[in-house]
Chains A and B, each alone.
Chain A
Amino acid sequence: MEILTWTYILVGLSFAIYIGIAIWTRAGSTKEFYVAGGGVSPLANGMATAADWMSAASFISMAGIISFSGYDGSVYLMGWTGGYVLLALLLAPYLRKFGKFTVPDFVGDRYYSNKARVVAVVCALFISFTYVAGQMRGVGIVFSRYLEVDINTGVIIGMCIVFFYAVLGGMKGITYTQVAQYCVLIFAYMVPAIFVSMQLTGNPIPQLGLGGTVADGTPLLDKLDGVLTELGFAAYTSGRKEMVDMLAITLALMVGTAGLPHVIVRFFTVPRVKDARLSAGYALVFIAILYTTAPAVAAFGIYNAIDTVAEKPVDNLPEWVGNWQKTNLIVVEDKNGDGIVQYVADKKTNELTIDKDIMVLANPEIAQLPNWVVGLVAAGAMAAALSTAAGLLLVISTSVSRDLFRTFRPEMSEKKELRIARIAAGGAVVLAGYFGVNPPGFVAEVVAFAFGLAAASFFPVIIMGIFSSRINKEGAITGMVSGLVFTMAYIIYFKFISPEMNNAGHWWFGISPEGIGSLGMLLNFVVCYVVSKATPAPPQHVQDMIEEIRIPRGAGGAVEH
């Protein structure tokens, strides 16, 4: 069968499963809508968290980024997994014990202030919107590349699917759909990786294949280092970034991960505190399967690309090069007219430009795998994008219905709140779709924002709210605002106002805008602490609450208002 037929079958089948699950698990109450009734098993929640967390960027782009940055790409691998240790040890169990539905809920109650709650809602909305626009775009790209429909039609189809199951099923529907989506995406990621690893190194496990040897007996990574340095690039296994920037980016990504509202909220869905701990462990296992495979895919991809294309005659390139040239993801340009493709570091004489996304997307074709594998990768990329989009939409709708409406209209009936939550989810889908069709030019730039903001705003006040009973609302609000303003100002300055200054020479302490969230976080901690010391301690009932959340016993289901 043709690739296109396979893609239609596999993507269609996966969509049918998601919709079936959504109908089967519709939410009937706000509790089911927000936290799936608090009855999800730790294993299922771990899987759902993994799907929620791994976005189109993780699935499609991450391996390619590592292909072209080698060792420097480690910041993403460590940053986006190490955050789960923080989440499991410092946040998840206590927030589960606290037992409400959202992050702003915690901030508002712990700091006995609606002002603090509103600041938290604004952060949550901003982070989620930034993220969701990128996912919708990812959906559109997959549609246009694999199903050969217009990119805008692709976004609209994706919107309808997400709308259907997020609005209908709420968290309950999303959770079980995400379990299915995880299975689809991990299978789609692993199958080509295993085949390529076999072909290149003879080892079926990509994690080991990365340390394996190629046909002539030299280790793959040594060979890659040699080839790249010969072409004028930096060696694959050595870094180009300054060490201080590596540290700052890794920290910002870790702390940002732990502070992302759509990830945190997943730990409200399990029945007990000990389930929250265990669930974080399962989540990381499921994430680690992809994240330890990605560096292998990265190295195999760049090795294969150079091996099959560089120094080869222009009119006799492998078939996949031709296929992907149509999408402009790979560009061959015989500048000096010698009929041979030169791939070198010098931009002026380089004749081969490879887009980072190709490393995952074209993987099955490079390895000459059967057509169904190509269709599978398309279904996997869709699963990754849709699951993340749905999780984010839920945070947006919850923020609006619960954190805004409920706070200012506590007498509202549950039925009405549920209706507002659904309308908000619908509105968010439409808005996200709009950004998917008309992407603001700065989508890629604002991702640094989302992590920086989560790191500089939520993380410190949640941690301090749990581990110190002395921190009060004055401290929390000034801390959040100063962390936020500082981080935003730094990113806006270097990304939008003076992009020409965006280099190590002008950065503070050599820290790039990607890593500035870690400084913002420190600032938040310091301001929060100092201001709290100078103002009165929190009231007794808040101090009692802190004592209470530190002890697992008595968690019960998520508390109704």
Chain B
Amino acid sequence: MLDNKQKMKAYWKKNLQTLFFLLLVWFTVSFGFGILLVEQLNNFKFGGFKLGFWFAQQGSIYAFVILIFVYVYRMNKLDKEFDVNEK
């Protein structure tokens, strides 16, 4: 039982690490590139876009989609590793 409890603690810790990393990216692409650093990034061109503007109206949304699928992949792997996956 104790063993199991420790295992669950380790699972939860790994889960939190995954979340922290993904939310860091989430914050960076939207609040970071799209708002805080938009002026600086606008000095760069990305096709016909100013880079900061592109992040605010396009790039951040693509990044959000990718983030969720990375999360799904990571968590499914983690669930199997700790044998808590659903049949």
Contact = CB atoms under 8 A, between A and B. Distances in A.
To the question of whether A and B form a pair in one complex, the answer is: yes
B86 A211 contact: no
B48 A221 contact: yes
A39 interface: no
Q: Is the interface of B mostly helix, strand, loop or mixed?
A: helix
A380 B84 CA distance: 42
A213 B68 CA distance: 32
B58 A212 contact: no
A281 B69 contact: yes
A523 to B, nearest CB: 20
Contacts of A222: 48
Pairs of residues from A and B, 10 with the lowest C-beta to C-beta distance, nearest first: A219-B48, A74-B56, A211-B48, A281-B68, A295-B57, A211-B47, A211-B49, A237-B53, A553-B84, A88-B68
Contacts of A239: 38
A66 B58 CA distance: 13
A246 to B, nearest CB: 5
Size class of the contact patch on chain A: 35 or more
A210 interface: yes
B56 A77 contact: yes
Interface in A212-249: 212-213, 219-222, 237-239, 243, 246-247
Contacts of A554: 86
A553 B85 contact: yes
Interface of A: 66, 71, 73-74, 77-78, 81-82, 84-86, 88-90, 93, 207-208, 210-213, 219-222, 237-239, 243, 246-247, 250-251, 272-274, 277-278, 280-281, 284-285, 288, 291-292, 295, 547, 550-555
A85 B84 contact: no
B19 A90 contact: yes
B60 A78 contact: yes
A281 B60 contact: no
Contact of A213 (B30, B42, B48): B48
Contact of A552 (B36, B49, B54, B86): B86
Interface string B65-87: 10111011001100100001110
B68 A250 contact: no
Contacts of A280: 68
A547 B38 CA distance: 41
Contact of A277 (B11, B12, B48, B75): B75
A504 to B, nearest CB: 17
Nearest to A72: B56
B30 A250 contact: yes
B53 A272 contact: no
A288 B56 CA distance: 13
Given A211-B47, A237-B53, A552-B85, A292 B30 contact: no
22 contacts: A77-B56, A78-B34, A81-B64, A82-B64, A84-B68, A85-B23, A88-B72, A90-B19, A208-B47, A210-B49, A211-B46, A211-B48, A219-B47, A221-B49, A243-B36, A250-B34, A274-B85, A281-B65, A281-B72, A551-B8, A551-B84, A552-B86
A247 B68 contact: no
Given A84-B64, A220-B48, A247-B35, A274 B58 contact: no
A77 B68 contact: no
A273 B76 CA distance: 10
Given A239-B38, A247-B31, A552 B84 contact: yes
B35 A246 contact: yes
Contacts of A238: 42
Contact of B22 (A74, A89, A246): A89
Contact of B61 (A78, A213, A250, A251): A78
A239 B36 CA distance: 12
